[in-house]
Structure 1
């Protein structure tokens, strides 16, 4: 049998342990009230700036001459002289003789025609005199009661008509000979740049042979494709609008100014673009010549809008934008966006000057949620009863 010591010793240990537990439980303090802290999202903002905006429509195109002429021989013969300026890249003035075709045969033809005209004129004058004599003779004898009406032949009217016809034909021959002689001079019809030369000294040419090509330098033309939806941003469809053309020349970006003069009036079948035509006056007389064949970017001046804001397009969702109000809370504003271009939106209604636009991302934005800026404390205290007694 177990001894009393073996029986009562474990019991005593349990009693002592129970007493200690009761004493410690009596010493336990109730939980203290704590402050639950909420963190308002940190945001970045930028102020709204209303300004006057002039719309721009961007395009591109190749610089071309307004007028381009192929020089073609109209008479046959040997080329006896060529102007020193009639070379590819040369500049010529209006009226300059570029090519001369041997004129000898045409000078001889003119002399023959002039001689024929002199003969026809002489014959006409003789016939006119004879017709006058015949008419006078008839006037003398017409008082005779037995006189009959004279025939046309008697009055020499057919003969006179024949001589008059030959005289006019001779005049035409002189005119034709003069014209052919003038065509031996190939002249520049306007101030131009020579873009092609296809004849050499001593060459024999025939009517229809191409001698060269020249481009007028008074005006440069640029065809500018514009998308249909961009036409709404231009006044009068762009007619009369200023246009700035930019191109890189010798490693530097150069700018030239011109005007839109017309709309080609059709939509291109392949690109579905409308083409506007811009003119630049005296392209080769600029401080930096605007050369034919150059590729340029164009900025067409469009409509003028007052009190507009330009904001990044990514900040707008469903035509609304997030703002921060005077209480540092989130609010939304509905916008009227008139255009989006190059990642920016043009806004005419929905924003006031000085309002703060939220530019940073928010996970779950809701109307009226509390926000904070960089210069505010990180936490906003809210006193609550956190725990209850066990």
Structure 2
């Protein structure tokens, strides 16, 4: 038969367990309250600014002389004189003597031509006198009308023709003598010289090549779609040329003077031609622009009006993501009037000062809330401030 202790012992164990459990529960601290997690997407924005703009069209080209001339000998003979400036890279003025061909034969030919002219003039005077005597004698013999032969008119015409031939011969001799002296046709840079002292040259032999230094040209290729941004298809437009000179980037000014008027069959480009005055700075103090220089050209174009520039990658199907005044995501259509490298130029669709979203969104939805990073930081600072206050209050309560 169970004793009283045996009957009570199980209840004591159970009671002890309940007491211990209650004590442990009482000692357990309540779980910390975690602040709610803000899942609003953070975005970066760029403010839209409209301002006036003048379009420019970019191109490129190589500087060349407007005129280049290959000098050739127009008479035969030996080179007896060369100017010191007549060397490759030399500069010469218009009319400056570059070389001379031995003039002896042409001086002799001129004397012969002068003698023939004098003889022809003398024969003409004599024939005129003879014709006058024949006319007078015919009148003394008969009253009938004389024939042209009787009046020596054929002989007179022959002498007149001989005189004209002699005059032509004199002009030819004078011209050949003048051609024995080779002169620069304009202010020039000597590109090459193909003769030396004592060289015998024949009619048509190459003497050298000259480049005109008064005006330089640059052919500028443009895609057909770029022509719409130029006034009057670029006629008389100002051009800024950028290139390197002496290891430094330099800039020169030019003017579009003409279009070549056709589309190149290979490149499908239209070529405009720009002119630059005094490229070698022979008459001014600007930097020289040497022939053969590769330049980038910026051609002044039409007035675009009030426009804004935004990165091209932000436009998808003609829509731009913006953050409205209520911090909501909106997609707005824009009117693109030109692409300019990595940017596009728009004329309407967005308001001045509006914020466009420049950062990528994982799952964008029209009307969703968005935040700026600075707003997130301010919110976090506020939460941390609240936590500090709560901790201070809890500590004070324990005390």
**Which residue in the other structure is 1:55 paired with?**
55
Cα distance, 1:329 vs structure 2: 1.1
Cα distance, 1:37 vs structure 2: 5.7
**Which residue in the other structure is 1:354 paired with?**
353
| Among candidates 256, 269, 273, match of residue 260 of structure 1 | 256
| Among candidates 133, 155, 158, match of residue 159 of structure 1 | 155
Q: C-alpha distance in 1, partners of 2:96/2:140?
A: 64
- Name the stretch that deviates more: 63-72 or 315-324: 315-324
Cα distance, 1:137 vs structure 2: 3.3
**Which residue in the other structure is 1:203 paired with?**
199
Correspondence 1:181 to 2:177: yes
Spell out the pairing of 1:287-302 with structure 2 (5 A cutoff). 287-302=286-301
Spell out the pairing of 1:162-311 with structure 2 (5 A cutoff). 162-285=158-281, 287-311=286-310
Secondary structure of the 2:176 match is helix
Q: C-alpha distance in 1, partners of 2:158/2:275?
A: 57
Q: C-alpha distance in 2, partners of 1:261/1:350?
A: 38
Tell which has more relative contact order, 1 or 2 (C-alpha 8 A, sep 6+).
1
What TM-score results when the alignment is normalised by the length of structure 2? 0.84
Q: C-alpha distance in 2, partners of 1:135/1:77?
A: 52
Cα distance, 1:273 vs structure 2: 1.2
**Which residue in the other structure is 1:129 paired with?**
129
Q: C-alpha distance in 2, partners of 1:306/1:75?
A: 64
Q: What do residues 139-174 of structure 1 show as CA deviations (whole Å, max 9, x unaligned)? A: 44554xxx3x32221010111011111111111110
Cα distance, 1:38 vs structure 2: 4.8
Cα distance, 1:293 vs structure 2: 1.0
Correspondence 1:312 to 2:308: no
Question: Residues 350 and 155 from structure 1, CA distance in 2 versus in 1: closer, same or farther, beyond 3 angstroms?
Answer: same
**Which residue in the other structure is 1:331 paired with?**
330
Q: C-alpha distance in 1, partners of 2:228/2:137?
A: 86
Q: What do residues 165-201 of structure 1 show as CA deviations (whole Å, max 9, x unaligned)? A: 1111111110110010010010100000001011101
**Which residue in the other structure is 1:100 paired with?**
100
In terms of fraction of residues, the more helix-rich structure is 2
Cα distance, 1:35 vs structure 2: 9.4
Cα distance, 1:133 vs structure 2: 2.1
Secondary structure of the 1:284 match is coil
Secondary structure of the 1:237 match is helix
Q: C-alpha distance in 2, partners of 1:267/1:4?
A: 121
Contact persistence 1:239–1:261 (CA under 8 A):
yes
